[in-house]
Amino acid sequence: MSAAEGPLVVGVDSSTQSTKALVVDVATGRIVASGQAPHTVTSGAGRESDPDEWWSALGEALHQCGAAAHEAAAVSVGGQQHGLVTLDAQGRPVRPALLWNDVRSAPQAQRLIEQLGGAKAWAERVGSVPGPSFTITKWAWLTEHEPEAARATAAIRLPHDYLTERLTGEGTTDRGDASGTGWWASTSESYDEEILAMAGVDGALLPRVVRPGEVAGTVRDGSGLPFAKGTLVAPGTGDNAAAALGLGLRPGTPVLSLGTSGTVYAVSRNRTTDATGTVAGFADARGGWLPLACTLNCTLAVDRVAALLGREREAVEPGGAVTLLPYLDGERTPALPGASGLLYGLRHDTTPGQLLQAAYDGAVHSLLGAVDLVLESDADRAAPLLLIGGGARGATWQQTVRRLSGRPVQIPEAKELVALGAAAQAAGVLTGEDPAAVARRWDTAAGPVLDAVERDTETLERISGVLSDAAPLLDKA
């Protein structure tokens, strides 16, 4: 391994199923070392994880990085959004964290929407209409179903906040992740006292929101992690805001992220207020905005269909007129939290490969419906879609997005964009640079561009028709 040309930083991606750590050379963007360790996620009535597992996984990932982690001058944590972490007075988890894809709080979400005066009031004030993914709805569920746990809570954190606080000893968050809670208002860029009171949240339980570029603290003694004393800790942010940093996004470039969930987003100069709730008006990690639409069912749902069929995930076949809406975990876009999967149009001659392709089509249809909604009016609608996430490497995912979008698709060669974005943020607090400019200097978005193909409007219209006809049934599932 050659010597680094500049100082080293660590970027962390604490995602739903694992924690990854990259040690990156600030001067060149070269990944000097990396590590990864898994988490456990429950699969019962809800989706939960033990935050202590995230910390253990972070330690394991960093130890895999070897001496390079100890040489790092700064670190930043990107983490899965929305999750509710409740800590007692000693800083220990009161219970497992409720994750973003736990939809048990759908009734509480609806009640909160009505309490504030409807979806339009939420969109104008907070920037988003809260669904069951949002932290505020999970707190409402907890206070209703587990009041003793709520009473024992001395601090409320998001997943990235929890790890950052264990690094520094101080409770902090950033505007990007705070904007996904439901109690941070985009109008004032602060916690909303009326909404906190309505949700029964004491503002003293919440972390301080640090500014973009501000140092959140330094690694404290006794962390047990292989950092040198005094290593700077950046604010960190949510996973999508971190990936936007990792791509060095400029306004007007749409991103499709194909992971456990599917997301569509773009950097914007303007605050979003979508009263339909399709687009969440999140803040980004730099001072701008990150309008985003999210689906709960993406690669995991398609892989599950493949497993049920006993086929490899790439073993698709063309043809047929079968429609499969893979809403295996309920759905967020469209807003059908109680839904289950729906298969329509099955015939004697339908093949397993056609069924599997229909699962891909159903997942991508949900994402493409939001692309134009996250872009500003002057954006180039023919520009390539940036395809990222684990699914972006799959040939069938690539071909399905091209066929249903009719647009060229660019696949960045950089694989760990959340961790790279966190590393760029760490570099920013170290050098004073704009972290997105750091990522552009690292050329993280570079990758092949696949040409546009003719758009498959027939499939899009068939799926839209089935969804429209079945929506009342799906909503009762």
Q: Count the neighbouring beta carbons within 10 Å of the beta carbon of residue 170.
A: 15
Tell me which H or E stretch contains 34: strand 31-38
CA atoms of 357 and 377, how far apart (whole Å): 33
CA atoms of 85 and 67, how far apart (whole Å): 31
> For residue 79, what are the CA distances in angstroms to 11, 14, 86, 357?
11, 5, 16, 31
Phi first, then psi, for residue 177 (nearest 5°) are -75, -35
Catalytically annotated residues: 239
- The 3 state secondary structure assigned to 160-210 is HHHHHHHHHCCCEEEHHHHCCCCCEECCCCEECHHHHHHHCCCHHHCCEEE
Amino acid identity at 371: V
Amino acid identity at 422: A
42 in Cβ contact with 48 (< 8 Å) = yes
> For residue 293, what are the CA distances in angstroms to 173, 283, 370, 436?
22, 13, 6, 21
